[in-house]
Chains A and B, each alone.
Chain A
Amino acid sequence: MSGALSLPARRTPPGVFVALVLTLAIGWIVVTVDGGRLFSVPTTVSLLHVAAGLGLVAVGQTLVVIGGSLDLSVAYVVSLSTLVAAETMAGDDGALLPAIGLTLAVSAAIGLVNGLLVTTARINPFIATVGVGLLLKGYLDNGYDGPAGKTAPALVQSLGYQRVGPVPLSFLLLLAVAAAAWFVLARTRFGHHLFAVGGDPEVARLSGVRGSRVLVTAHVLCALCAGLAGVYLASRLGAGAPRVGTEGLYDLESIAAVVLGGTALAGGRGGVVGTVGGVLLLASIDAIFNQLEVDVFFKQVIRGVIIIAAVAVYARRAMRKAS
């Protein structure tokens, strides 16, 4: 039964990868004409680093979006995680593992709060996660003016800068996390139920699925991914950075990557493979604009246009399917 194993792959929309290839092709031509090199090792490495950070957050975001929810607190979780990691390590390799454990525990706890607010307290996910995000922002703004703590050198050397050929270790970490998420979605009851809850909560209920538990789990996993992204950023920056999450726009960009990847914002449809494609697309656009030395503000405008256009394409496709 080869069909059994091809199930999720068959469902992945190739659209985002087509867009990725086209973007890279056009970008390569434009950059070359401009006298630069898009596929030089430094550019590729930096592209993949950007993708690693955003990707870790976006993979987690994919899970909650499939479940029909959403997490806007991830940017603050990222910032907080860099601080928890770097301050606990305090430059000591011996504290590396406990620090990572603590960071992930703190993240998971925030995810748990998000999940309980959304399910038990029945607060709209948008409001609930923005609220939790603002709480974290208050703590960060109050406690920190700038970088704090010191990342363990071992982590900086490994996760931060080590690479295999042009591929950074961090990007391999992203691929591993994405593969794990794919596996969870395709091969666990939790994954199946998550699709059901996102697709139609009432159908899920009538089929005996415990929707709240599923959604809380998704929120915890999402926050864990954001925490992991924080650990990675701490390894890059060598210290904890209280604004890195919000300055990197990890909340909105992660949702953009999820949507570009073909996951329905309404829930019930999508997957992490598309999300990784969406992340690579956003990172490529970033790299191309950097090569062309485009103005930062203009860059944002173009990214906005691309995201809106992509969503419009999906919406049209969905409409055609419905009629």
Chain B
Amino acid sequence: MSGLLPSPLLALRGIGKSFLGVRVLDGVDLQVRPGEVHAVVGENGAGKSTLMKVVAGVHQPDEGTVEFAGAPRTFRSPREARQAGIGIVYQELTLLPERTVAENVCLGREPLRRGLVDRRAMLSHTAELLASIGEGSIPPDTRVGRLGVAQQQVVEIVKALALDARLLIMDEPTAALADHEVDQLYALVRRLQEQGIGVLYVSHRLKEVFDLSTRITVLKDGRAVATLDTADTSADQLVRHMVGRELSSYYPGRAKPQELGPVRLTVRGAGNRKLRGIDLRLRAGEVLGVGGLQGSGRSALARALFGAAPFSTGEVTVDRAPVRLRSPRAAIRAGIAYVSEDRKGEGIVAEQSVLDNALLAVRAVRAVGPGRAGRGARTARVRELLAAVELRAAGEDQEVRFLSGGNQQKVVLARWLALAPRILLFDEPTRGIDVGAKSAIHDLVRRLARDGAAVLMVSSELPELLGMSDRIIVMRDGRIAGELPAGASEEDVVALAVGTAREAAG
């Protein structure tokens, strides 16, 4: 490149990182110049978050070098990276809602005067920082819990900047924001840029990437496959770099017509606080994909069917018999199983063993049989299932928190399979799971359908939705915006999700 360009603020060379033998990053090169917004894009599981955490000192690379401000650096902790001038805005907010803005921003480095916390300096310092990025309207002495999500995001950014950060990492910063709040964030990022701060911007929203970035690095399966100048790149080109592989090679085959069985589940005119007018039918042997934007009601649908946030109106039948899914327990008894998108919160009991986790649902629903024989048989069955899902663990006594995301998911699956469910609800079955384990989960889902289960799968990953589903319904504003057959394109789904396509009647 020409000598007029400033020397890079951050230079990564040949970064490699593996977790439990799975290669997550492989020879990644990347440079960020001062005042540049460098976007990092890639599918879920491409290694974006891991790369960011390497830069921020959360993870240490197995190979490769990190150069910051012209000197090679090894950050052993987030604290070291921060002191060097790297701020990070995490995907989840890391603020204390009970404390004030100023207390949050200055946490860990409160200004002192005669040995005491100088509250005045803390407030004025925070006010200055807020004003410097044009957010002077946020009062520094307000409790963070009282602010809206967008304002909390601003506080998070100010906190990251507070130590004179020269590089700011933003990991999916718009995930929790409404549209007008996204505009505010844009303005903020541009002001940072003007101040010569380098920004490493991770997002899977292409619009943001094109609106904001100067250059784009595409990660795929842990490798940086391209670095592009945003101005010279079209959306099509970018998508080609990101995907660049055949769908069919990646996903198990769809159901053949003769594999489809009777209707397992029907929903008529159902709704609750988040859903309206839901009508759907689900047949044995089929995988019904549910698409839509975040907050469109796709997860609410799965949770309603599982009785976690039940329908308040409408009728549901399972195998033609009317059922009332008022609680998860009722749903489980009706033969419905649910794999939550929030694996850590709702899926696994991290401190319990593999076996206990897998036995959780059977133990809860089936009465304990007399004597040890019943229990023994059940345990044996669960062991078989753990083998069938090809769980890779040190043993069945291992605590689940030590397993990889993919293997945790397999344990959750085994738990439900122990109940021989007729209907399986998956909410983001492969979220946070590395690429290799993903296809194992996909194969499992398909195998379950072939064995006669009816599967409803919510997914925000378009390739997964399109690759796995026999039929796709797309949610928008709590309603089913339309239905698409297998072989629909990404554009079809997106058009329905955002509402540019004419809605299917009904």
Contacts and interface: CB of A to CB of B under 8 A. Distances in A.
A204 B100 contact: no
Contacts of B95: 203
A191 B99 CA distance: 12
B96 A196 contact: yes
A6 B82 CA distance: 32
B123 A192 contact: no
A199 B100 CA distance: 13
Interface stretch (A144-152, A205-213, A216-224, A272-280): A205-213
3 A-B pairs with least C-beta separation:
A208-B108, A207-B108, A199-B96
A7 B99 contact: no
Given A4-B141, A192-B110, A208-B108, A203 B96 contact: yes
B117 interface: yes
25 contacts: A1-B120, A3-B123, A4-B119, A4-B120, A4-B141, A7-B119, A11-B143, A189-B110, A191-B117, A193-B108, A195-B98, A195-B103, A196-B99, A199-B96, A200-B94, A203-B94, A203-B96, A207-B94, A207-B108, A207-B159, A208-B78, A208-B82, A268-B96, A268-B98, A269-B98
Contacts of A268: 96, 98
Nearest to A3: B141
A202 B141 CA distance: 23
B107 interface: yes
Contacts of B175: none
Contacts of A195: 96, 98-99, 103
A188 to B, nearest CB: 6
A209 B145 CA distance: 21
A322 B145 CA distance: 10
A191 B110 CA distance: 11
Given A187-B116, A199-B98, A268-B96, A7 B141 contact: yes
Interface residues of B, number: 26
B123 A200 contact: no
B93 to A, nearest CB: 9
Contacts of A203: 94-96, 107
Contact of A188 (B103, B117, B159): B117
B100 A7 contact: yes
A217 to B, nearest CB: 15
A208 B84 CA distance: 13
A196 B107 contact: yes
B363 interface: no
B345 to A, nearest CB: 15
Contacts of B100: 7
A179 to B, nearest CB: 15
Contacts of B375: none
Interface of B: 78-79, 82, 94-100, 103, 107-110, 112, 115-117, 119-120, 123, 141, 143, 145, 159
Nearest to B90: A206
A4 B123 contact: yes
A195 B107 CA distance: 10
Contacts of A196: 96, 99, 107-108
Given A196-B96, A199-B98, A209 B108 contact: yes
B123 A1 contact: yes
Contacts of B123: 1, 3-4
Contact of A189 (B78, B94, B117, B145): B117
B117 A187 contact: yes
A107 to B, nearest CB: 25
Contacts of B108: 193, 196, 204, 207-209
B117 A206 contact: no
A261 B329 CA distance: 38
Given A7-B141, A203-B95, A207-B108, 6 more contacts: A192-B110, A196-B108, A200-B94, A200-B96, A208-B78, A209-B107
Contacts of B116: 187-188
A191 B116 CA distance: 10
Interface string A1-30: 101110100010000000000000000000
A85 B145 CA distance: 46
Given A188-B117, A192-B103, A208 B109 contact: yes
A215 to B, nearest CB: 15
A207 to B, nearest CB: 4
A321 B110 CA distance: 29
Contacts of B120: 1, 4
Nearest to B94: A203
A21 B144 CA distance: 31
A214 to B, nearest CB: 11
Contacts of A3: 123, 141
B119 A206 contact: no
Contacts of A204: 107-108
A203 B90 CA distance: 11
Contacts of A189: 110, 112, 117
Contacts of A7: 100, 119, 141
A207 B107 contact: yes
Contacts of B107: 192-193, 196, 203-204, 207, 209
Interface in A169-200: 186-189, 191-193, 195-196, 199-200
Nearest to A267: B98
B99 A206 contact: no
A4 B116 CA distance: 14
Contacts of A192: 103, 107, 110, 117
Contacts of A1: 120, 123
A1 B141 CA distance: 11
Contacts of B103: 192, 195
A321 B98 CA distance: 12
B110 to A, nearest CB: 5
A206 B96 contact: no
B335 to A, nearest CB: 32
Contacts of B78: 206, 208
A5 B143 CA distance: 15
